[in-house]
Amino acid sequence: MLIQRASDISSSEITPENLYHNRREWIKTASAILGLTAVGTIIPACAPTVGAAGEPQAKGKYDTTEKPTPFEDITSYNNYYEFGTGKDDPARNSKNFKPKPWTVKVEGMCKKPATYNLDDLIKGFATEDRIYRMRCVEAWSMVIPWAGFPLKTLIERLEPLPSAKFVEFKTLVDPNQYPEQRRSFLKVLDWPYVEGLRMDEATHPLALIATGIYGKPLPNQNGAPLRLVLPWKYGFKGIKAIVNIRFTDKQPVNTWQQQASQEYGFYANVNPNVDHPRWSQARERRIGEFFKRPTLMFNGYADQVSELYAGMDLRRYY
Ligand SMILES: Nc1nc2c(c(=O)[nH]1)N[C@H]1C(S)=C(S)[C@@H](COP(=O)(O)O)O[C@H]1N2
Ligand SMILES: [Mo]
């Protein structure tokens, strides 16, 4: 994601993360050729259900059978601009973040508006494991074993009115905890970070509220204590550290659309046929792999979600 306006940026400037990974991958590849061991890459992270190789096993119908990205990579290569724009800033700057106690304010067109303690809000929800692909709009991807519950479960508890057509989410504003929110000029983004979904998207069975990764509580850098996960959409829809949920009849203006509407829209469905104005979306670099791979329509979830967008021009509604 970019800070500058489109016109200020050449396409060569968007790939610092690719250079970083090229370098890392080159080291791994060189080590393999030389018969050395890249120690950090062979230790399997622990998980609730593990296979012979120590990886979480695909069980549910929405789980991908692709190899999960190591815990170490999922928790050290992040986008979370409140903590800084570098990929390693969130891990470094979120160590003292306080995800507990946590309150979530629910407002707008629903029967249960209130300010909830998070524990009360999600009391009794069964936690599920979901192994999902995640595709960032910057053209890198991971496979993440999440734990959480369907967003639908939470929405049903809040009893939206028939007039509610969208749901909007906001991230915490707290300059004491988020270094980037202490800036008064050269702000990276307008805070709070905002995202939104159409109600039928929000209640789709794939839409998840994540509270954990690899069977552990969600690390701060990944959006503790609760964040959205929408595997068919670009990663920026997956808003972190949610403190506000609002039901509305108007389409929310999400942060990246507000920042650069010619580049980022409301829908942000993964689409290899619609390029970003400054780079191709046809391929992606899976973190931990050397060669790029093709990006799949709806990030490989077309069978499940394409009917949500039947009849829509996906070039227009990007
Ligand atoms: N509040 C907030 N949520 C956010 C972001 C952010 O900067 N702030 N970045 C988004 C982007 S661009 C991506 S790709 C994902 C990254 O999630 P991860 O770091 O857990 O992989 O978080 C999304 N959610
Ligand atoms: Mo992203």
**Per-position pLDDT tens, the chain of length 318:** 655 444 443 443 343 333 333 434 444 444 444 444 444 333 334 445 677 667 788 999 999 999 999 999 999 999 999 999 999 999 999 999 999 999 999 999 999 999 999 999 999 999 999 999 999 999 999 999 999 999 999 999 999 999 999 999 999 999 999 999 999 999 999 999 999 999 999 999 999 999 999 999 999 999 999 999 999 999 999 999 999 999 999 999 999 999 999 999 999 999 999 999 999 999 999 999 999 999 999 999 999 999 999 999 999 999
pLDDT tens-digit profile of 277-286? 999 999 999 9
Phi-psi domain of 220 (left: phi exceeds 0; alpha: psi -120 through 50; beta: other): alpha
The per-residue DSSP string of 11-50 comes to: GGGG-HHHHHHHHHHHHHHHHHHTT---GGGTSPPP-SSB
* Residue whose pair of structure tokens reads 């524990």 in the numeric block: 119
> How far, in Å, from the CA of 112 to the mean position of ligand 2?
32
- Residue nearest to ligand 1 atom 10, measured at CA: 236
- Residue nearest to ligand 1 atom 15, measured at CA: 235
In eight-state DSSP terms, residue 56 is: B
Distance CA 307, CA 305 (A): 6
Preceding amide of 225 cis, omega within 30:
yes
Distance CA 210, CA 143 (A): 14
pLDDT tens-digit profile of 167-223? 999 999 999 999 999 999 999 999 999 999 999 999 999 999 999 999 999 999 999
The pLDDT of residue 152 is 98
Decide: 108 in ligand 1 pocket, CB within 6 A.
no
The answer to whether the CB of 116 falls within 8 A of the CB of 137 is no
Ligand 1 atom showing the smallest separation from residue 1 Cα: 12
Decide: 70 in ligand 1 pocket, CB within 6 A.
no
Distances (CA, A) of 258 to 47, 83, 121, 191: 38, 20, 30, 11
Query: Which residues place a Cβ less than 5 A from the ion ligand 2?
Result: 79, 136-137, 235-236
Task: Tell how far CA 162 is from the center of its chain.
Answer: 28
- In the chain, the amino acid numbered 52 is A
The answer to whether the CB of 112 falls within 8 A of the CB of 106 is yes
Output the pTM of the full model. Answer: 0.87
The pLDDT of residue 2 is 58
Please name each of the domains of the chain with its CATH number. Answer: 6-309 (3.90.420.10)
Distances (CA, A) of 257 to 11, 39, 189, 237: 19, 41, 11, 11
Decide: 238 in ligand 1 pocket, CB within 6 A.
yes
